[in-house]
C-alpha cells in the first residue's frame, strides 16, 4: 500500500532579526553569518507564542486548506524538543486549541503522542505514522505529523546566530499527492552522545558546536550506508560499476540547523561516495591535491578536531572539491533550492528538514522542473544522537499542491525587531500581554498559571 505526504502547511512567526543587525551588535563580520553559515534572517517568537500554538496554527492551516473535518484525522503526532511539560504531551494542547475552532470533543477519537529525539523525532513520527497507514489501520483516515520548535541559544553564545522558530504540519494518507515513501529503505543510526542537550528546567541547550557538526556528518553517513544496502536489496535501484546511490537520488534534503550545514553535509557524503569510483581520479586531478587523512585515521571525533594540520588541509580540500564542475552540478541540481527558506527563517530544529523539503518543492517548481517521479532523499539528524535516511517518489498529482506554495505570502508581513526588542524577548522580560505582533486568525497563548494548585496550566485563544 502507498503511504506518504499528501500536503504540507507551515506557520512561521512574523517577528524576525536581521543577521546583519545582529552581527553588528555582537561585533561579528556579517559575512560570517551570511556566507559562512548561510543565515540571513531568524524568526523569533512573540511574548504570546509558544511551540504548542505554533503547532496548532500549522495544523489549522493544513486542515483549512484541505477542508478537512476532525473525523478525517485518526492520529495527530507532535514532534518537538521545546517541550514545556515533563508529562502532559504537546498534542493535548494542540487538540484543545483546534477544538476551539472545530467544536468541543471533535477530536475525541484521535490518537497521538509527543515525540522526542532532538531534531530527528519528526522523522521517527513520520515513519511510525506511515507504517500505521501501511498496516491498514488508518481505514481511510489521515494522520497529521506536526514538527514545531523554538531554537533558542544563550545570548552571546556561538549558537546564538543559529536561532529561529516555526512549525510544519504534514498530512499523511494512503493516496498521497506529494510524495510516497519508498518501502523497506528507512535506515537509522544511534549513539549515546553529548553534542547538544538541554537538561530539565534549562531553557537553552548546552552545545559543543564543532563536535556536533562532525558527529552529524558521521551519523548521517552511517545511516546512508545502511540505506544503500536496503534500497539495493529492494531492487528499487540498481547500480552500475561507476555509480553511487546518490546518482539515483534526484533531490537531497538535509537537516538544516543553519543552511550551510546542508552544504557541508552534501560535500561530505558525496566525497565519501565518490572516493571509490573511477571519477575520483579526475576530481583529484582537477583539485590538484590529494585528499588529506587525519594523523590517527581510526581516532575519535575529539582527536580529529584536535588535529589542527588535518583540519586546515581538509577545509582547503573541501573548498576546492565544492568548486569542481561535477560537484557544483550536484549541489545546484540536488540541494540548492532546499536552502532558500532556511536562510529566511533560521533554525526550526525538528521542522528544519521539512522546511527544506518544502523549499525544494516550491523553488524547483518555479524553475519549471517537472518533478513527477523524482526520488527525494532525506538526511535527518538529531543530537544525542541519531540519524535517519529515507526516500520517496514525487507523485503525479504533486502539481495540485505545489502550484500554490508561496513561502513569502505564507509567512506574511514580517516585523523586524530591534536588538533591544530581541534581547527583551529572549530574556523573557516582557509579559504575555506585552506582545509586538497583532495576532489575526491564529492561536495565541493568553495565560500560564502560577498558583501552586494549577502551576503550569496554559490557556490559549483563537483570535479572529
Ligand atoms: P563558530 O565557531 O562560531 O563558527 O560556530 P566557525 O568558526 O565554525 O565559522 C562558521 C563558518 O563561517 C566557517 O565556514 C568559517 O570559515 C566561516 P566552514 O569552515 O564551515 O566552511 N567564516 C566566515 N565566512 C566569511 N567571512 C567571515 C567568516 N568568519 C568565519 N568573516 C557553529 C559555528 C555552527 C558550531 C555554532 O554556531 C554552533 O554551535 N551552533 C549550534 C550547534 C549546531 O548548530 N550544530 C550543527 C550540527 S548538530 C545539529 O544539527 C543538531 C541541532 O540541530 C540540535 C538538535 O538536533 O536538536 C543543533
160 Cα nearest atom in ligand 1: 37
- Give whole-number Cα distances, 275 to 222, 237, 254, 284, in Å: 16, 20, 21, 10
**Comparing 181-190, 384-393, 432-441, 449-458, which segment has the lowest mean pLDDT?**
432-441
Mutate which of 34, 37, 115 for ligand 1? The one with the most ligand atoms within 8 Å of its CB, which is 37
Q: Compute the distance from residue 100 Cα to the ligand 1 centre, in Å.
A: 42
Q: Which of 164, 257, 271 to mutate to test the pocket of ligand 1 (most atoms within 8 A of CB)?
A: 257
Q: What is the pLDDT of residues 250-280, one digit of tens each?
A: 999 999 999 999 999 999 999 999 999 999 9
d(CA 446, CA 76): 23
Burial of residue 335 (CB within 10 Å: 0-12, 13-18, 19+) is buried
Residue whose CA is at the smallest distance from ligand 1 atom 34: 209
Average pLDDT, the chain: 97
pLDDT digits (tens, 9 = 90+) for 310-343: 999 999 999 999 999 999 999 999 999 999 999 9
Q: What pLDDT score was predicted for residue 279? A: 94
Q: Which mutation among 213, 322, 351, 355 tests ligand 1's pocket best, with the greatest number of atoms within 8 A of CB?
A: 213
Q: Whose CA is nearest to atom 14 of ligand 1?
A: 36
Contact 142, 171 (CB under 8 A): yes
Q: Whose CA is nearest to atom 28 of ligand 1?
A: 32
In this structure, the number of other CB atoms found within 10 A of the CB of residue 12 comes to: 27
Q: How far, in Å, from the CA of 52 to the mean position of ligand 1?
A: 28
Residue nearest to atom 3 of ligand 1 (CA): 158
CA of 118 from ligand 1 middle (Å) equals: 18
> Which of 158, 220, 313 gets mutated to test ligand 1 (max ligand atoms within 8 A of its CB)?
158
Q: Identify the residue whose C-alpha is closest to ligand 1 atom 19.
A: 315
Ligand 1 centre and the CA of 38: distance in Å? 10
Q: Give the position, in ligand 1's atom list, of the atom nearest the Cα of 315.
A: 19
pLDDT category of residue 84 using cuts at 50, 70 and 90: very high
CA torsion sign for 22, 28, 30, 36 is: negative
Which ligand 1 atom is at minimum distance from the Cα of 161? Answer: 37
In ligand 1, the atom with minimum distance to the C-alpha of 196 is 54
Cα of 376 vs centre of ligand 1, distance in Å, is: 26
Which residues sit opposite 72 in a β-bridge? none
CA of 344 to the centre of ligand 1 (A): 17
Residue 431 pLDDT greater than 90, yes or no: no
- The pLDDT tens digits of the residues spanning 98-112 come to 999 999 999 999 999
Ligand 1, atom 11: nearest CA belongs to which residue?
A: 36
**What value does the mean pLDDT take over residues 344-366?**
98
Q: Pull the grid cell for residue 322.
A: 565544492
On whether the CB atoms of residues 195 and 408 are closer than 8 A, the answer is: no
pLDDT at residue 432 greater than cutoff 90: no
356, 359, 361, 363: CA torsion to nearest 10 = -140
Mean pLDDT throughout 349-355? 98
Atom of ligand 1 nearest to the CA of 195: 48
Q: Tell me, what's the pLDDT at 306?
A: 97
Ligand 1 atom index nearest CA of 29: 31
Residue 15: name the closest of 117, 171, 165 by CA: 165
Average pLDDT over residues 60-72: 98
Q: Using CA positions, which residue lies closest to atom 15 of ligand 1?
A: 36
Residues with CB under 6 A from ligand 1: 29, 31-32, 35-37, 81, 118-119, 158-159, 161-162, 196, 207, 209-210, 212-213, 216, 255, 257, 261, 264, 315, 349, 381-383
Probe residue for ligand 1, chosen from 20, 124, 165, 212 as the CB with the greatest number of ligand atoms within 8 Å = 212
The verdict on pTM exceeding 0.95 is yes
Residue whose Cα lies nearest atom 17 of ligand 1: it is 36
Residue 433, pLDDT above cutoff 90: no
Task: Kindly give the distance from the C-alpha atom of residue 349 to the centroid of ligand 1, in angstroms, as a whole number.
Answer: 15
Amino acid at each position: 500500500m502507498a503511504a506518504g505526504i499528501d500536503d504540507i502547511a507551515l506557520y512561521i512567526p512574523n517577528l524576525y532579526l536581521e543577521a546583519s543587525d545582529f552581527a553588528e551588535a555582537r561585533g561579528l563580520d556579517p559575512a560570517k553569518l551570511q556566507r559562512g553559515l548561510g543565515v540571513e534572517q531568524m524568526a523569533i517568537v512573540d511574548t504570546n507564542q509558544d511551540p504548542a500554538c505554533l503547532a496548532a496554527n500549522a495544523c489549522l492551516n493544513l486542515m483549512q486548506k484541505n477542508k478537512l473535518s476532525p473525523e478525517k484525522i485518526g492520529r495527530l503526532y507532535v514532534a518537538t524538543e521545546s517541550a514545556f511539560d515533563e508529562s502532559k504531551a504537546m498534542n493535548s494542547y494542540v487538540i484543545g486549541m483546534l477544538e476551539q475552532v472545530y467544536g468541543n470533543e471533535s477530536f475525541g477519537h484521535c490518537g497521538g503522542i509527543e515525540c522526542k529525539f532532538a531534531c530527528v523525532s519528526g522523522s521517527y513520527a513520520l515513519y511510525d505514522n506511515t507504517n500505521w497507514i501501511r498496516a491498514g489501520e488508518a481505514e481511510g483516515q489521515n494522520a497529521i505529523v506536526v514538527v514545531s520548535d523554538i531554537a533558542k541559544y544563550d545570548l552571546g553564545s556561538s549558537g546564538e546566530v543559529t536561532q529561529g522558530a516555526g512549525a510544519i504540519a504534514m498530512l499523511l494518507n494512503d493516496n498521497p499527492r506529494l510524495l510516497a515513501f519508498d518501502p523497506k529503505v528507512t535506515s537509522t543510526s544511534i549513539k549515546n552522545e553529548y553534542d547538544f542537550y538541554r537538561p530539565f528546567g534549562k531553557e537553552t541547550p548546552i552545545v559543543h558546536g564543532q563536535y556536533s557538526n562532525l558527529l552529524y556528518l558521521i551519523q548521517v553517513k552511517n545511516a546512508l550506508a545502511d540505506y544503500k544496502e536496503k534500497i539495493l536489496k529492494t531492487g528499487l535501484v540498481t547500480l552500475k560499476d561507476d555509480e553511487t546511490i546518490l546518482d539515483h537520488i534526484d533531490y537531497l534534503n538535509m537537516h538544516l540547523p543553519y543552511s550551510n550545514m546542508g552544504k557541508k553535509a552534501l560535500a561530505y557524503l558525496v566525497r565519501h561516495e565518490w572516493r571509490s569510483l573511477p571519477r575520483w581520479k579526475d576530481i583529484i586531478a582537477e583539485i590538484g591535491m590529494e585528499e588529506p587523512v587525519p594523523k590517527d585515521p581510526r581516532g575519535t571525533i575529539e582527536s580529529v578536531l584536535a588535529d589542527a594540520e588535518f583540519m586546515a588541509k581538509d577545509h582547503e580540500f573541501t573548498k576546492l572539491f565544492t568548486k569542481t564542475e561535477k560537484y557544483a552540478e550536484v549541489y545546484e541540481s540536488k540541494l540548492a533550492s532546499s536552502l532558500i527558506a532556511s536562510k529566511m527563517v533560521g533554525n526550526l530544529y525538528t521542522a528544519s528538514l521539512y522546511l527544506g523539503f518544502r523549499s525544494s518543492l516550491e523553488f524547483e517548481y518555479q524553475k519549471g522542473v517537472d518533478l513527477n517521479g523524482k526520488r527525494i532523499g532525506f538526511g535527518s539528524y538529531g543530537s544525542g544522537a541519531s540519524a535517519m535516511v529515507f526516500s520517496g517518489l514525487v507523485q503525479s498529482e504533486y502539481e495540485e499542491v505545489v502550484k500554490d506554495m508561496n513561502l513569502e505570502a505564507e509567512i506574511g508581513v514580517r516585523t523586524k525587531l530591534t536588538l533591544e526588542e530581541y534581547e527583551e524577548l529572549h530574556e523573557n522580560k516582557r509579559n504575555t500581554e506585552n506582545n509586538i505582533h497583532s495576532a489575526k486568525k491564529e492561536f495565541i497563548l493568553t495565560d500560564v498559571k502560577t498558583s501552586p494548585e494549577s502551576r503550569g496550566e496554559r490557556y490559549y485563544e483563537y483570535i479572529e
